[in-house]
Structure 1
Amino acid sequence: MGSSGRVTLNDVAAASGVSRATVSFVLNDDPHQTISAATRDRVKQAARELGYVPHGVARALREGSSRVVVLNIGAGMEGHYSRTYIQGLDAELAAHDHVLLVRHGRHTPQSTQQILDVIAPRAVIHFGETYLTGRELDDLGGGWRDGLAAHSAMQLRHLVEHGHEHVAVALPETGSPLAAARLKFTGQAARDLGVPVPDPFVMPLDRTACAEAVEAVLGGGPGVTAIAGFNDDVALRVLTALRDLGRRVPDDVAVIGFDDNGYGAHTTPALTTVHVDAEAHGRLSARLALNLDTGGLRPPPAHVVVRQSV
């Protein structure tokens, strides 16, 4: 038996008179290996008699769960923030011998329960939880210090500092779990800055409908001179709509994106946007899920990538 007291593949190999590799092939039911039925039976019998349990399963039995962490990402949540968040989450989980499973799109209670029943994950993380808290102090990745509230305010502040008081917020047609929070934080930032709270409007996917939506916004109420996109995808549709309407950017209308998806640098004019590196947020989520110390994890400050659209 191994020095740790746990039955190992070597123990099974010695008891069945075969190599460690053969034991691994048999117990993993490797279809690419030709091993006689007699040898398979001998290995499996030795494993049963010794009480061999695969290493990962043994730890799961001791801990009451597997070493898998599930991340649910809702529809319309993909972008630079989510990519860097996943990188940090995956790296931190791997450092603590855990595996990340990412689920994209909309999830029903039934499909989620199937995951829980089959995998028994160590934790299920809903993307954006640590980014959405909105607490002002010690916000664990959310709120007014280095989270969604601060970054929403940063987007609006950049427009106000460039002389734009009447701003509209363009939202995605597909919706997003973050939309309500973004509008809440942008509204609070507007009040803090002493400017009118921006009115939201939806940017459709259809190009003609996009132009109609932007035209309606520019023609209603006090003259809107700037549009803040929910993300870069939406902001790029705004740029196209303004070009279709014959409006000059930024002379007639300024446009700013959010999340810096990389495509804004290649448009004319190039898109000004808010850049957020979320690797530290992902690492933070991993440590919270594993009940580990979160000290020393600070994300780099977000910043406005200044281009030509503001």
Structure 2
Amino acid sequence: MSRSTRATAKDVARASGVSQTTVSFVLNDAAGHVSQETRERVQQAARALGYVPNGSAQALRKGASRIVLLNVEGIPTGSSLGGYIHGLDAELASHNHVLLVLHGHLSSQALSDVAQAVSARAVIDLSNAGHADALATDTHTSLDAFSAQADVPVRHLVDRGHRHIATVLPDTPELQALAGLRERLIRQAAHTAGLDGCPTLVLPSSLGPAEERLRSFRAEHPEVTAVVAYNDDLALVTLAAMRRIGLRAPADLAVIGFDDTPHGALFSPALTTVHIDAEAIGRIAARKALGLPAADTTPEPARVIVRESG
């Protein structure tokens, strides 16, 4: 089979018809609960694809310890991530495992070194989706779950007559994995709704530069009547910048955030936002990391918390 890129654990899972967690157990010699037939199917698929695990994958030391690592570098913990961590921690604790949360600036190799040092059972790296396959964890599943409800605010705005919607993304490199995925799904939802285009406004967190970016964006895209921000913090920066240049929400520009953080309700105008069942997503991530079935845990559908801004 000719491939332009190196095969990943996700490719092996797809080819053998199993989960990435099962692939991780088999290829890291921790597959005691996996049938011999499944083990051989995974190994055959890995050989056929030419899969070679990198150093990070080797950090999963046969599931020797009861420690699961979660790397959240740069991701605001006051948002849905807080609920995600709570659910992940609670579910792991119910199976006698411990969650270790890392907030530092870690390279892939440094994360691998930490995993090796504690003989981690699994690693979930939300800050660097580019290494998710190598780490053979639930990273992609978690990112997908956080972003999959991106159509909810789009439908809300379309139902209120908006035909030109934009996304607002942070200029922080650490957030690009989740922000980029959410942007793509918002664009898909806009396309499905029959909207023409969905431009992106990249805003810094500082109010002065954000004001200038917003002013330039309005000049380039005067047709836009609503924006969906990456999270509540960025939505509030948008509202503050709007006030500085004399725009009102929602009369001039409707604004919706993500995460339903408490301070969104305290702003004026109060922020319309999207609530996500992050705790359930965390519980699912824990069960997948441990190779346990997660079908009995289903997150509640995302919903718009309607306030004044949108």
- TM normalised by structure 2 equals 0.72
Larger radius of gyration: 1
Q: Is residue 240 of structure 2 the alignment partner of residue 255 of structure 1?
A: no
* Counterpart in the other structure of 1:209: 209
Q: What amino acid sits opposite 1:115 in the alignment?
A: V
Residue 114 of structure 1 deviates from its aligned partner by 2.2
Distance 1:228 1:105 in 2: 29
Distance 1:101 1:283 in 2: 15
State how many pairs are aligned. Answer: 239
* Counterpart in the other structure of 2:91: 92
| Residues 64 and 241 of structure 1: CA distance in aligned 2, closer, same or farther (over 3 Å) | closer
Q: What amino acid sits opposite 1:91 in the alignment?
A: A
Could you tell which deviates more after superposition, 220-229 or 81-90?
220-229
Q: What amino acid sits opposite 1:283 in the alignment?
A: R
Residue 222 of structure 1 deviates from its aligned partner by 4.8
Residue 70 of structure 1 deviates from its aligned partner by 0.6
Distance 1:142 1:73 in 2: 12
* Counterpart in the other structure of 2:239: 239
Contact persistence 2:274–2:303 (CA under 8 A): yes
Q: Which runs of 5+ in 2 are unaligned?
A: 1-61, 134-139
Residue 302 of structure 1 deviates from its aligned partner by 1.3
* Counterpart in the other structure of 1:265: 265
Distance 2:268 2:261 in 1: 16
Residue 208 of structure 1 deviates from its aligned partner by 1.6
Q: What amino acid sits opposite 1:172 in the alignment?
A: P
Distance 1:254 1:105 in 2: 35
Q: What amino acid sits opposite 2:118 in the alignment?
A: I
Per-residue CA shift, 1:56-86, capped at 9, x if unaligned? xxxxxxx751111111113135343111111
Residue 195 of structure 1 deviates from its aligned partner by 0.5
Residue 140 of structure 1 deviates from its aligned partner by 6.5
Distance 1:141 1:75 in 2: 16
Contact persistence 1:168–1:217 (CA under 8 A): no
Per-residue CA shift, 1:269-296, capped at 9, x if unaligned? 1000001121111111111111112131
* Counterpart in the other structure of 1:45: none
Q: Is residue 159 of structure 2 the alignment partner of residue 161 of structure 1?
A: yes
In the TM superposition, what are the counterparts of 1:97-112 in structure 2 within 5 Å? Answer: 97-112=96-111
Residue 148 of structure 1 deviates from its aligned partner by 4.1
Residue 202 of structure 1 deviates from its aligned partner by 1.1
In the TM superposition, what are the counterparts of 1:62-211 in structure 2 within 5 Å? Answer: 65-127=64-126, 147-175=145-173, 176=175, 177-211=177-211
Distance 2:104 2:192 in 1: 35
Contact persistence 1:186–1:197 (CA under 8 A): no
User: 1:299 aligns to what SS in structure 2?
Assistant: coil
User: 1:201 aligns to what SS in structure 2?
Assistant: strand
- How large is the RMSD of aligned CA atoms in angstroms? 2.4
Contact persistence 1:153–1:189 (CA under 8 A): yes
Structure 1 runs of 4+ aligned residues shifted over 2 Å read: 76-80, 126-129, 139-143, 147-150
* Counterpart in the other structure of 1:302: 302
Residue 228 of structure 1 deviates from its aligned partner by 1.3
| Residues 64 and 150 of structure 1: CA distance in aligned 2, closer, same or farther (over 3 Å) | closer
Percent identity between matched residues is 42
Q: What amino acid sits opposite 1:71 in the alignment?
A: L
Distance 1:258 1:273 in 2: 5
| Residues 247 and 127 of structure 1: CA distance in aligned 2, closer, same or farther (over 3 Å) | same
| Residues 125 and 242 of structure 1: CA distance in aligned 2, closer, same or farther (over 3 Å) | same
- TM normalised by structure 1 equals 0.72
Contact persistence 2:166–2:224 (CA under 8 A): yes
Residue 150 of structure 1 deviates from its aligned partner by 3.8
* Counterpart in the other structure of 2:281: 281
Structure ranking higher on relative contact order (CA contacts 8 Å, 6+ apart)? 2
Residue 221 of structure 1 deviates from its aligned partner by 3.6
Q: Which runs of 5+ in 1 are unaligned?
A: 1-62, 134-138
| Residues 273 and 77 of structure 1: CA distance in aligned 2, closer, same or farther (over 3 Å) | same
| Residues 284 and 172 of structure 1: CA distance in aligned 2, closer, same or farther (over 3 Å) | same
Distance 2:255 2:123 in 1: 37
Q: What amino acid sits opposite 1:66 in the alignment?
A: S
Distance 2:161 2:188 in 1: 19
User: 1:252 aligns to what SS in structure 2?
Assistant: coil
User: 1:178 aligns to what SS in structure 2?
Assistant: helix
* Counterpart in the other structure of 1:14: none
Residue 305 of structure 1 deviates from its aligned partner by 0.3
